[in-house]
Structure 1
Amino acid sequence: MDSRSWLVLEPDPPQHTLPEDLRARDRFGGRDCGWVAQMRPFVRHFSRPGQCVFDPFCGFGTTLLAAALEGREGCGIEIDAGRAELARERLRRHGIDAPIAVGSLPHAEIPRAIDLCLTNVPYFGCRWPTDEGDPSEGQLYLENDYATYLHRLRDIFHAVRGALPDDGFCIAMVENVVIEQRMLPLAWDLGQLLGGLFVAREERLLCYPREAQALPAAATHSNRSHEYALVFQKTREAICIASTLSALEAIRQAGFAFELYGSFARWLQHGDAESPRPPADADLLLPDDEARFNQLLHWLHERHFELSLWGEPARPPVRLDRLRAHWFLRAQRRDRLGRLVRLDLSLASQAAA
């Protein structure tokens, strides 16, 4: 992979495509089987030989085959038991023994320790042929509500984040979709969702060779011959010390009581003698006063802080029992120079527990 922001992909050679007899055994004809060529550059660039590449939407094992061809291990999770077995058989024909669990995150268990997550997300709004039976229960394809679909994606990638090592990459292939002549910004919504869990690093535009046709005047549709590869990393993003101190002073001046603890408090006391890397957040302990806590949240919201509970957007009022269930609420803001302020708000009673 080089520095170009786009990749032009060529179809897989016959030896890497899904065999026709396996495709015929899939009740949907393997219509959403991805390309090995799509995954190989990312396997090669974002993992090392011998490391494990994980796909939480394993499908026909395309990512795992790409991993093996690049000298990596692979494992996956697939909700459809029939497809999981087809993937295993496909891989066995290549002499590959990669574990594939049946189910879905966050409930299923990832089969082994992982180093890279590389996947193509199931698309919202797929229409299944009515004469070919129903897909497996719980399929993201089947979600009737877009907000619920995104919520489930957030839960899945939250589990991925927990399994990745520090500085590991999570790369998701996704395209904006058109439903009833209206574009649904799935790629951009997924990017925002993943941005609450990881640090956004880059993107690549994947281009597929498809025949073009002339359009009549004012027609808007395209041949949908591209996809985004969104590159995220599980890493500590350092906050701006000066901007954070300024925000904390403004909170105090507004009359809100809090106690600093954790890495930011230690940094203020010891500087870089204890840790060469600046802290990733400032931890605040607040009194167990629901009304006052929500006054602070309103104050932060009015100053354009983004509020979230484990990556899920939150708006005041927030009940304290909900806060306790999530342990902390995150408030963060980034200015035009990229300086980050990130505050993690917890209750004093939780620290004492």
Structure 2
Amino acid sequence: MDSRSWLLLEPDPPELRLPEDLRARDPFGGRDCGWVAQMRPFVRHYAAPGARVFDPFCGFGTTLLAAALEGRDACGLEIDPARAQLARERLHRHGIDAPIATGTLPETPAPAPFDLCLTNVPYFGCRWPGEADAQAGQLYLERDYEAYLRRLRDLFHAVRDALPEDGYCIVMAENLNLDGRLLPLAWDLARVLGALFVARDERLLCYRREARPLAPGDARSDRSHEYALVFQKQRERVCLDSTRDALQALRDAGFAFDLYGSYPRWLADPGVREPADADLLLPDDQAEFDRLLWWLHERDYALSLWGEPLRPPLRLPRLREHWYVRAQRRDRLGRLVRLDLSLADQAGRQTPAAR
């Protein structure tokens, strides 16, 4: 892979395509089978020799085949047992023995440890022809877009937990056109992933398709591109000076809180590892907590609850269920302030380390 922000992909040669007899056994006719050529450059660039590549939506085993062709190990998860079997047969014909488990994250763990997550998400709005009763959890069957995004968040949260530090999570997605309206799936997915990983870059994947004329004012395109969203599991650096200023501004505004965790340890000893956020313990006071959230909201902090955007107010019982609210702000120089807001009486929390 070179420095270009786009890749022009060529179709797979016949010997790497999904065999016709396997395609005929699939309810979709294999129409959603990806290209091995799509995945191979990312395997080469982001997985060292001997590393293992994981695909949580392994489908027909395309990513696993790409990994094996590049000399890497692979494993996958597939919710549809019939497709999982098709993937095993396809790989077996290439002499590849990669573990494929039937299920989905987070309920079913990956069948083996992995170093790179590389996948193409099931698209929202597909008309899955399989048996609905036998496909509980099938994202193709999700009727509500926000629920679809929440389930992707939960799945990639499990990916983050299993991924080693500095490992990459690369997800392919395209924006969709549903009923004549653009649905920004790729961009919404990037927001979901951005709450879990550090965004590194993107690649635009381009496919050759014959152009056709459009009537004046017709906005439709042939959807001949998609995005490869490149994220990494890593502690994102916060600006310590900006964080100190933000905490002082909170005190000046009359908010009471205690600090705990890595930030006060760093204040006591700047030689230790720099913190990735400042953890605040707040009084159990609904009115004061609402005042704090509105204060942050009015100062353009992005508020989120486990990756979901949040607009105040928030009831304290819901905060206890989710442990913390994240408030973060980034200025035009890229300096990041990240505050995690919890209640002082929550079980399992550490004793406050600084005032």
2:337 to 325, 338, 341: 341
* Counterpart residue type for residue 311 of structure 1: G
Match of 1:280 in 2: 276
Cα distance between partner residues in 1 of 2:156 and 2:30: 25
Tell me the secondary structure at the aligned position of residue 89 of structure 1. Answer: helix
Cα distance between partner residues in 1 of 2:74 and 2:136: 25
Deviation at 1:291, TM superposition (A): 2.3
Match of 2:36 in 1: 36
TM-score for both structures, normalised by structure 1: 0.95
Kindly indicate whether the alpha-carbon contact (under 8 Å) linking 2:261 and 2:350 is maintained by their aligned counterparts in 1.
no
Cα distance between partner residues in 2 of 1:316 and 1:217: 44
Structure 1 gaps, min length 5: none
Match of 2:65 in 1: 65
* Counterpart residue type for residue 306 of structure 1: A
Kindly indicate whether the alpha-carbon contact (under 8 Å) linking 2:176 and 2:183 is maintained by their aligned counterparts in 1.
yes
Cα distance between partner residues in 2 of 1:314 and 1:221: 33
TM-score for both structures, normalised by structure 2: 0.94
Determine whether 1:296 maps to 2:292. yes
Tell me the secondary structure at the aligned position of residue 345 of structure 2. Answer: helix
> 1:74-129: CA deviations, max 9, x gaps?
11111111000000111111111111111111111111111111110111111345
Match of 1:189 in 2: 188
Deviation at 1:137, TM superposition (A): 3.2
> 1:116-174: CA deviations, max 9, x gaps?
11110111111345xx7658332211111111111111111111111111111111100
Determine whether 1:45 maps to 2:41. no
Deviation at 1:352, TM superposition (A): 5.4
Match of 1:86 in 2: 86
Tell me the secondary structure at the aligned position of residue 297 of structure 2. Answer: helix
Q: Decide which moves more: 334-343 or 288-297.
A: 288-297
Match of 1:316 in 2: 312
Cα distance between partner residues in 2 of 1:245 and 1:156: 34
Cα distance between partner residues in 2 of 1:253 and 1:322: 28
| Pairwise CA RMSD | 1.5
Determine whether 1:12 maps to 2:15. no
> 1:171-193: CA deviations, max 9, x gaps?
11000000111111111111111
Tell me the secondary structure at the aligned position of residue 67 of structure 1. Answer: helix
Match of 1:122 in 2: 122
Cα distance between partner residues in 2 of 1:318 and 1:163: 31
Match of 1:99 in 2: 99
Cα distance between partner residues in 2 of 1:111 and 1:322: 34
Deviation at 1:269, TM superposition (A): 1.6
Determine whether 1:327 maps to 2:326. no
Structure 2 gaps, min length 5: none
Match of 2:256 in 1: 257
Cα distance between partner residues in 1 of 2:303 and 2:51: 36
Match of 1:207 in 2: 206
Tell me the secondary structure at the aligned position of residue 349 of structure 1. Answer: coil
Which stretches of structure 1, 4 residues or more, deviate above 3 A after TM superposition? 132-135
Cα distance between partner residues in 1 of 2:203 and 2:73: 24
Cα distance between partner residues in 2 of 1:343 and 1:22: 51
Distance 1:296 1:133, change over 3 A: closer
* Counterpart residue type for residue 10 of structure 1: E
Cα distance between partner residues in 2 of 1:256 and 1:301: 15
Q: Decide which moves more: 2-11 or 327-336.
A: 327-336
Cα distance between partner residues in 1 of 2:114 and 2:181: 38
Kindly indicate whether the alpha-carbon contact (under 8 Å) linking 2:304 and 2:327 is maintained by their aligned counterparts in 1.
yes
Overall identity of the aligned pairs, in % = 71
Deviation at 1:65, TM superposition (A): 0.6
